[in-house]
Structure 1
């Protein structure tokens, strides 16, 4: 008696692993604008990718301030902000009123990403102007992605725009800000993390053809998986034959070979020699 075929649970496990690999592949190919500090944009044949929070040899926290915040003071107003995270104050915390929506009076500034203090009637009054969950990234110059990006954060009524300008050699922290309207602030930070990584969209990396191939592969794997589960549990087929259309898949390599490698055969013709006999000629 021939040994029984492989049990289906092992095959199901292999198919599930294939499905997980396909999911990871689709995640990679579909990546565009990722987390709050990740951004990708294509220009021509180049794909430019930014990751402000990624560590570098010289800056282990990326664009994040190692103090836990950036601070800019202009006249009687003080602006605090942090990129890619909420602020953290181990020293010099904000001392202002109306800080309930950003940590409260005891932990003012620790539950938002941007805060401004203005002196009103002799009192420092705080206003939350940006949160980590409400942010948007765009290019500083649409025609030149290498110049840097703008991180804009929002609160219920206010906003802050931080232009992260590409400077691969040094950091220039903000020393001023601009107020437009009633509560929209803007400032500039020069940092190596504002410089993008670029790859050729047509050369390396994942193109549309690779994405299409992975999509088809995943759909095919899903078809085989669903069919195998149905035949295993509902038709009671507990061997490798539970895979739907098994004969087709077994013969597929030969079918492909037949299509792309046409069969060759010797062609024989006959010619008459000088003695009047017919001799076969192979060519």
Structure 2
């Protein structure tokens, strides 16, 4: 009995972990999806989807990206939270991103500045809100920019990471720029920054088709209203129930006469209508 209970617990735990892993992957995938339509061309970017040689997409297999410039160090992960199995951040405090024991584990981006010999850390990307946009609308092949932010007690911080398209491999962030009090910018090169291009062919008749549909709908409404009125209020039965029947019956003949008149007007009288009399010389 105890063995069966233990087996059930193991099975339930296994499927629970599998479900959590699936939900985590689905959430990360949904966060970093972006599409850009340029004319008849659709550019799809799914940064966290697996691609060749990169089963986790844009996500760093180390659990984080890192760039250090002068006295500033930045750790971040795109489309998911950071995981530190090695080289964790060492900060004087880290209460807005996991605390001293789990520093960096509760945010998407963390920056450390050397202040008086101590590394003071600030979370600059936190929560599920991640914005993805095109870098250059005139050249969508360039890549996308991923933006994340965090509202702190002193500053509203943000991080913008330009993901440049590079089919040859990955080049991690090498530069870091600070804009304002707590806004940072960096870039990396990755195959996930390259779009999947789909040609979208325009269909339909455009505005003419819309106008034609409106006219046909109005005509159908006119016929229906006329038939209902003549049937219920005038007591008319049979084919005469159609409103203005004489006009609709004569419409083909009227159209033919109009077309014939227009042809004669532009082409002149035909041979059959020319006079057969010969001129007489006196």
After TM superposition, the score normalised by the length of structure 1 is: 0.59
Q: 1:142 aligns with which of 137, 141, 151?
A: 137
What are the within-5 Å matches in structure 2 for residues 96-107 of structure 1?
Answer: 96-107=91-102
Q: SS of the residue aligned with 1:155?
A: strand
Q: Give the Cα separation in 2 of the matches to 1:184 and 1:98.
A: 20
Deviation readout 1:80-100 (Å, 9 max, x if unpaired): 000010000001100102311
Q: SS of the residue aligned with 2:146?
A: strand
Q: What is aligned with 2:182?
A: 183
Bigger CA radius of gyration: 2
User: 1:56/1:115 Cα in 2 relative to 1: closer, same or farther (>3 Å)?
Assistant: same
Q: What is aligned with 1:199?
A: 198
Unaligned segments of structure 1, at least 5 residues: 1-33, 210-283
Q: Give the Cα separation in 2 of the matches to 1:119 and 1:76.
A: 5
Is the 1:172–1:189 Cα contact (8 Å) retained in structure 2? yes
1:36 CA drift (Å): 1.5
Q: Give the Cα separation in 2 of the matches to 1:166 and 1:158.
A: 26
Is the 2:83–2:104 Cα contact (8 Å) retained in structure 1? yes
Q: Give the Cα separation in 2 of the matches to 1:126 and 1:171.
A: 27
Q: Give the Cα separation in 2 of the matches to 1:199 and 1:52.
A: 17
Unaligned segments of structure 2, at least 5 residues: 1-28, 206-282
RMSD across aligned positions (CA): 1.6
Q: 1:82 aligns with which of 71, 77, 85?
A: 77
How many aligned positions are there?
A: 173
Is the 2:79–2:130 Cα contact (8 Å) retained in structure 1? no
User: 1:187/1:47 Cα in 2 relative to 1: closer, same or farther (>3 Å)?
Assistant: same
Q: Give the Cα separation in 2 of the matches to 1:114 and 1:208.
A: 47
Q: What is aligned with 2:149?
A: 154
Q: Give the Cα separation in 1 of the matches to 2:158 and 2:169.
A: 27
Structure with the larger helix share: 2
Q: What is aligned with 1:163?
A: 162
1:154 CA drift (Å): 0.4
Q: 1:118 aligns with which of 104, 113, 119?
A: 113
Deviation readout 1:32-55 (Å, 9 max, x if unpaired): xx8211100100001110000011
Q: Give the Cα separation in 2 of the matches to 1:38 and 1:101.
A: 27
1:208 CA drift (Å): 9.1
User: 1:90/1:136 Cα in 2 relative to 1: closer, same or farther (>3 Å)?
Assistant: same
User: 1:208/1:49 Cα in 2 relative to 1: closer, same or farther (>3 Å)?
Assistant: farther
Q: Give the Cα separation in 1 of the matches to 2:34 and 2:117.
A: 42
Is the 2:164–2:194 Cα contact (8 Å) retained in structure 1? yes
What are the within-5 Å matches in structure 2 for residues 1-283 of structure 1?
Answer: 35-156=30-151, 157-202=156-201
Is the 2:97–2:103 Cα contact (8 Å) retained in structure 1? yes
